[in-house]
Amino acid sequence: MTSTASAAPASAAPESPFVSEPDATGHFGEFGGRFVPEALVAALDQLTDAFHSAQADPAFRTRLSDLLRDYAGRPSILTEAQRFSEHCGGARILLKREDLNHTGSHKINNVLGQALLVQRMGKTRIIAETGAGQHGVASATAAALLGLECVVYMGEEDTQRQALNVARMKLLGADVIPVTTGSRTLKDAINEAFRDWVTNVDSTHYLLGTAAGPHPFPLMVREFHRVIGVEARAQMIERTGRLPDAVAACVGGGSNAIGIFTAFVGDPGVQLLGLEAGGDGLETGRHASTITGGSLGVLHGARSMLLQDENGQTIESHSISAGLDYPGIGPEHAYLAQTGRASYRSITDAQAMTAFALLCRTEGIIPAIESAHALAGAMELGKELGPDASILVCLSGRGDKDVDTAAAYFGMPTA
């Protein structure tokens, strides 16, 4: 079961490695593309051109990698979770510590990349959507660093539940606009950001926080997060002498997962596992599992998998984790699932919180509840793969923001 990179394939003819690249108009197979008002096409074309020219520009790449090192704190370290491993069938569990980045999650990678692009395009204002507030805080941070105006759209309910992050964004100089339309959650914050963008597109860049939305966002956000997987792949080889048997990451829109998967997509021996938020359980209908419990459709500018009713209306998602509480998913994940290159499972709130508590007590690390879904997936998979396996887990964020939620969940009295 435990295939390794050094083990030669049994068959004589080497298989060509799996490739996951979009076509020129952003399609991963039947997924992706652009389902947007015509008014936004010019801005998306401008962004696509700016992104490709920046990627080819050594000065841009140097500026970004300098910021990632000197500001965000990269490379992030790899931590072997030995005591936690005992609860994972003995499989070696190694954590890619995105929680230690500046602002506390992987989100800073993409935000710094896009903010530099904003400057390159000569725009002065960024808008962003946020659910739990992590992407909003990261966006406000980059805006402060580069002197950009920043407006963050956040569902009204989330502004109340995540008051601490609202305060952080305001301290950083951002305007936080509570969204009172629709279901007043992340998906409506995205709608409102698109409405702002179409109205102010000359001055404004929409700094989308996940690997979803219209082309070029899924590709661009992946590329800015690719560094997670590139670092982790080298660290795994250095630490364990080989590639991991599996890579596990939580998936809402899917940015940390695509960032860590991308470096391993061409490694046939490495299993890629995305963990979706299962809320109260798939069977209850109260979840945020778009691949394991959704269907094909178009939402927020791309064709992918989503939660929808019989009329094609988006269904509200449910998860204890605000960062995974989204009824859509990036198109590349839908493609990786369809082709079988990655597999996806649903993790309930209860499973995630069990893993959350366990990591706190066995490793002294309080993970984001989002990342706890990946940990719960590793617990399942480790028992299936056994003690010879090694599993790389993307610890996408830290759990400071989740302390109130966790205390309430575990019935702990708080001051």
Partner 1 sequence: MSALTEALDAAKADGRAALIGYLPVGFPDVEGSIRAMVAMVEGGVDIVEVGLPYSDPGMDGPVIQRAVEPAVRAGVGPRDALLAAKAVANTGAAAVIMSYWNPIEHYGVDRFARDLAAVGGAGVITPDLIPDEAAAWFAATDAADLDRVFLVAPSSTDARIISTVEACRGFVYAASTMGVTGTRDNVGTAAADLVARVRALTPDAVVCVGLGVSNGDQAAEIAAYADGVIVGSAFVRCLLDAPTPAEGITAVRRLARELAGGVRRRASV
Q: Give the CB-side neighbour count of residue 130, counting CA atoms within 13 A.
A: 33
Q: Does 25 bind partner 1 (CB under 8 A)?
A: yes
Rank residues 230 and 298 by Cβ distance to partner 1 and give the closer one. Answer: 298
Rank residues 34 and 225 by Cβ distance to partner 1 and give the closer one. Answer: 34
Measure the CA–CA gap between 278 and 231, rounded to whole angstroms: 29
**Sole window of 47-55, 220-228, 259-267, 291-299 interacting with partner 1 (rule: CB under 8 A):** 291-299
Residue of 76, 317, 319, 396 marked catalytic = 396
C-alpha pair distances (Å), 267 with each of 19, 230, 264: 10, 13, 5
Residue ranges of alpha helices (H) inside 68-180 are 82-85, 107-120, 134-146, 156-161, 163-171
Q: Is 50 exposed, middle or buried (0-12, 13-18, 19+ CB in 10 A)?
A: buried
Which of 33, 75, 213, 229 lies at the binding interface for partner 1 (CB under 8 A)? 33
Residue entry with tokens 């929409």: 206
What DSSP element (H or E) covers 351?
A: helix 349-363
Which of 28, 36, 85, 135 lies at the binding interface for partner 1 (CB under 8 A)? 36
Rank residues 34 and 222 by Cβ distance to partner 1 and give the closer one. Answer: 34
123 is catalytic: no
Rank residues 35 and 409 by Cβ distance to partner 1 and give the closer one. Answer: 35
CB of 355 to partner 1, least distance (A): 32
Measure the CA–CA gap between 324 and 107, rounded to whole angstroms: 13
Total Cβ atoms within 10 A of residue 134: 27
Rank residues 238 and 309 by Cβ distance to partner 1 and give the closer one. Answer: 309
Q: Does 351 bind partner 1 (CB under 8 A)?
A: no
Residue of 96, 107, 123, 401 marked catalytic = 107
- Say if CB 241 and CB 48 are below 8 A apart: no
Q: How far is CA 223 from the centre of its chain?
A: 12
Residue of 98, 129, 231, 363 marked catalytic = 129
107 is catalytic: yes
User: What do you get for the CA distance between the two ends of the chain, in Å?
Assistant: 49
Rank residues 138 and 302 by Cβ distance to partner 1 and give the closer one. Answer: 302
**Sole window of 261-269, 285-293, 295-303, 387-395 interacting with partner 1 (rule: CB under 8 A):** 295-303
Q: Does 191 bind partner 1 (CB under 8 A)?
A: yes
Number of residues that bind partner 1 (CB under 8 A): 34
CB of 142 to partner 1, least distance (A): 25
C-alpha pair distances (Å), 133 with each of 104, 167, 202, 385: 11, 10, 26, 35
Residue type, 415: A
Q: Does 314 bind partner 1 (CB under 8 A)?
A: yes
396 is catalytic: yes
- Say if CB 267 and CB 243 are below 8 A apart: yes
What DSSP element (H or E) covers 332?
A: helix 331-339
Measure the CA–CA gap between 136 and 193, rounded to whole angstroms: 12
Q: Does 35 bind partner 1 (CB under 8 A)?
A: yes
Measure the CA–CA gap between 359 and 237, rounded to whole angstroms: 24
**Sole window of 109-117, 161-169, 305-313, 398-406 interacting with partner 1 (rule: CB under 8 A):** 305-313
Q: Does 122 bind partner 1 (CB under 8 A)?
A: no
Q: What tokens appear for 282 in the block?
A: 């798939």
Sketch the per residue contact string, 142 through 181, with partner 1: x for CB under 8 A, - otherwise. Answer: ---------------------------------------x
CB of 314 to partner 1, least distance (A): 4
Rank residues 202 and 400 by Cβ distance to partner 1 and give the closer one. Answer: 202
Q: Does 313 bind partner 1 (CB under 8 A)?
A: yes
Q: Does 312 bind partner 1 (CB under 8 A)?
A: yes
Measure the CA–CA gap between 80 and 256, rounded to whole angstroms: 19
CB of 42 to partner 1, least distance (A): 4
**Residues 6+ positions from 36 with CB-CB distance below 8 Å:** 44, 194, 214, 301
Which of 38, 70, 238, 283 lies at the binding interface for partner 1 (CB under 8 A)? 38
Outline where DSSP puts E strands in 300-367: 302-306, 342-348
Binding footprint of partner 1 on the chain (CB under 8 A): 25, 33-43, 181-182, 187-188, 191, 194-195, 198-199, 201-202, 297-301, 308, 310-314
Catalytic residue list: 107, 129, 396
